[in-house]
Structure formats: C-alpha cells, structure tokens
Amino acid sequence: MNAINWFELFVSNFERARSFYERALAAPLEVMDGMGGRMALFPHDQDSGVGGCLSESAEQQSGIGGTRVYLNVEGQLDAVVSRVPAAGGVIIHSKMSIAPHGYIAVIKDSEGNEVGLHSMS
C-alpha cells in the first residue's frame, strides 16, 4: 500500500503544459475530462503504481500551491471524511465517484492545505 496514490499538477495553460511534459518525458499523456476541466494523465501502472496528471481547473492555480496530493485511505474514506471537522479541517468535496477508479473526497487540513483522499470502495 502506498501513502500517496494520485497527484494533480494544476496548470494555467493546459496545452502548453501538456506539450512541455510530453516533450520532456518523451511520452504521450492521455487526455480525459476531469472534475473541473481536462486532465492529461502521466504514464503509470493503474493496477499498482502511483499516478498523476496535469489538471485544468478554474478553482486552482498553477505555481506555489498548485499540487494536490491524494492520500490512500482504502476502505476508510467515509470514516476519514467524517473525522475531518472534529480534527480541525474542512470538507471541500464530499465523497464522489470517479468510476471505474473508485471514490475521492477533498479536504482542507488544519494548515489550509487541500488534500485529496482516495479509496476504491
């Protein structure tokens, strides 16, 4: 089990960022629709690896603070989300399906960091 299982790099110019990473990595990035806009997925093993993407979002900015880390909370997503307010955090997005890749939620921690939570169930 990995502590982190997904990350997003928020971008201000999706096509420019996609071109940069495809050129720098010499690998194509798969484009798909995400929660707030397009996503370009970095190559990764979907069954056992840590993955990530470039993410187009009107809500998020690139640069400092332009990354969201998703913590692996396999089988405990509902329980973890329910404990966030009492622990001093805020629920930004409650549990939502990202089928066929399971479920996510987004919280703000006690320091103001946005952190994603992921579980297959």
pTM score: 0.75
- Write out the E strands in the chain: 4-11, 30-33, 38-41, 51-56, 67-72, 90-97, 103-108, 114-119
In the chain, the domains with their CATH numbers are: 1-65 (3.10.180.10), 73-121 (3.10.180.10)
Closest CA relative to residue 31, chosen from 23, 47, 46, 19: 19
Query: What is the amino acid identity at position 70?
Result: Y
pLDDT in tens, 14-56: 999 999 999 988 899 999 998 789 999 998 887 777 899 999 9
63: alpha, beta or left, given left = phi > 0 and alpha = psi -120 to 50? left
Over residues 93-120, the pLDDT tens digits come to: 999 999 999 999 999 998 788 999 999 9
What would the two tokens of residue 9 be? 């790099």
